[in-house]
Structure formats: structure tokens, C-alpha cells
Amino acid sequence: MRKNKILFTREQIAEKVRALAGTLSKEYAGKNPLFVCILKGAVMFFADLTREMTIDLEMDFAALSSYGDKTQSGGVVAITKDLSVSVKGRHVVLVEDIVDSGFTALKLLRILEGRGAASVKIACLLDKPAGRKTDVTPDYACFEAPDEFVVGYGLDFNQKYRNLKDIWGMN
């Protein structure tokens, strides 16, 4: 597999991230939300998004695995790093790189709701509805991804390409 074309440039990404941060800052003003970065793919997006926020917020990190070394989720989601703070009574924003099959997002939603979160919403860089295998829909998405494998800006293939500043399609 190799990267073959830029789908979203770093300038387009920065513009969408700023706009989303403005929306979230308004929606969560005065609520001290907990922003949860889903590692590793969302780390670039998470860092840029939270730096653009104009409100007080807290951060935490979780890691889940559903892809392994494949280009499609097998549907089995394993938690490899759990949250370090309680979500009970908190407004939580899950920050995902991409919502594709929806398996990871669905598992996290169920877990956090079960732990008593006041609300849980999903903010993602890329929404890929063509790959959806659950009824999960992100609450906020910067871009709709085409039905192809993508890398860059945190997204990887076998742990490579995360450091690319643009988002690329692969074949």
C-alpha cells in the first residue's frame, strides 16, 4: 500500500479544526467538559482542537484497538488504556480521528454512559459513513472521508504515516 493523493490539506484541516473549536467552546461554556483523546490516531487532532478552545476543559486519554495491522476493523474492540479520571456527572467529548465502522465509538459510548457520564458526544476529524457497521453517528465531524483507506495527521497504516501534515488516500 502506498499514499497516492492528498485528500485534505493542512490548511483545510486547520480551518475546520478552528471552526469546530469555536462551536464546542460555545456549547460547553461553563460546563468544564472532559475531552478524551482516543490514542493514537486522534492525538494530532486532539492537540490542535484543544489548543483552539476558549473555555476551561479537562483532558484524558484512552486507547482501544480494533484494526490491528489490517485496513478494516474486525469488530472486536479491546481497551488497551482506560481513563484515569471518573466521568460520573461529567460532560464528555470523545475526540476520534475517524469514525468508520463505529465499533470503537459504540463501545466507548456504552462504557461512559454506564459509568454515569452526564452526556457523551463524539467529535471526529473524519466521518466515514460508507464503512459504518453500527448505528453510531458522530455529533461533530470536520470532513466526510471517501470510501478508501486514509493516512496522515495521526492516522496510520502499520504505525507509519502518522506524521504527515496532510491527509492522504492510499491504494
Domains and CATH numbers, the chain: 3-159 (3.40.50.2020)
Q: 22-61: per-residue pLDDT in tens?
A: 999 999 999 999 999 999 999 999 999 999 999 999 999 9
Q: How far apart are CA 117 and CA 98, in angstroms?
A: 22
Quick one: pLDDT at residue 64? 86
All residue ranges of the chain with pLDDT < 50 are none
Q: CB atoms < 10 A from the CB of 118, how many? A: 14
Quick one: pLDDT at residue 75? 62
Query: Of all residues in the chain, what percent are helix, strand and coil, respectively (each to 5)?
Result: 25, 35, 40
* Active site positions, annotated: 100
Quick one: pLDDT at residue 74? 56
